[in-house]
A and B are shown apart, each in its own frame.
Chain A
């Protein structure tokens, strides 16, 4: 049974206006990146301007516009930084202890996120968070390798999924308890 009752914009066609909007935003981001890379040297823009235009074009062709939320993104950053710091401390602690306190296992996490970018994004994030590693990105499930199967990773993953959904402006069906 799939639970992809997603109230989002995924799968809908985007209008030329949305392409333009997304293209402009990405061009600004690429310009900022160019500025960073070249230390803002004026002469570099002679090369930079065509590069930025080409990068924007390639980006819009390869990754069509998608809905996202600035608030969701802003809220995600501190959560991610804090959890990934904890993830590093956790794995370092386990590696340093003489008796090697790990008890690995596999679990399948049933997706509530729609396929495509949101799922790929979450799979990558999961690998950087404490004790979890994405193994297989399946159609219905994300297979996750956990470092310590005694911990409750399901509710942890649900929280992460909720936060990722917020970035993409998606509302998820309510949590469905254990599997």
Chain B
């Protein structure tokens, strides 16, 4: 195992940990707004780390670029959809959970 393989494995595992934490947040957080926080942020970082780990294993520059493109598209989609879901929830008068 080369050092770059090791780093790649560490990044992939760290990415998976973020996905796990994001899913846990989705299940544990009390309302739609807080759940969106867990999904957008944890998954964005999780995917970023997975993409970084995979890009290190990519055979070509174009392959790494493709992964980066995927991450950027997911960022854009994630942020826009989170905003749309939150705006729709607000319009329907869904109250936010307060401590």
Contacts and interface: CB of A to CB of B under 8 A. Distances in A.
A143 B83 CA distance: 10
Nearest to A37: B66
Interface in B69-99: 69, 75-76, 78-80, 82-83, 86-87, 90, 96-99
B38 interface: yes
Interface stretch (A66-74, A133-141, A156-164): A133-141
A45 to B, nearest CB: 14
Contacts of B98: 103-105
Nearest to B83: A134
Main secondary structure of the interface of B (DSSP, over half): helix
B36 interface: yes
Nearest to A146: B37
B36 A95 contact: no
A89 B45 contact: yes
Nearest to A81: B48
Contacts of A27: none
Contacts of A89: 45
B42 interface: yes
Contacts of B75: 128
A63 interface: no
Given A92-B42, A133-B33, A124 B22 contact: no
A33 interface: yes
A156 to B, nearest CB: 14
Interface of B: 17-18, 21-22, 24-25, 28-29, 31, 33-34, 36-38, 40-42, 44-46, 48, 60, 62-63, 65-66, 69, 75-76, 78-80, 82-83, 86-87, 90, 96-99
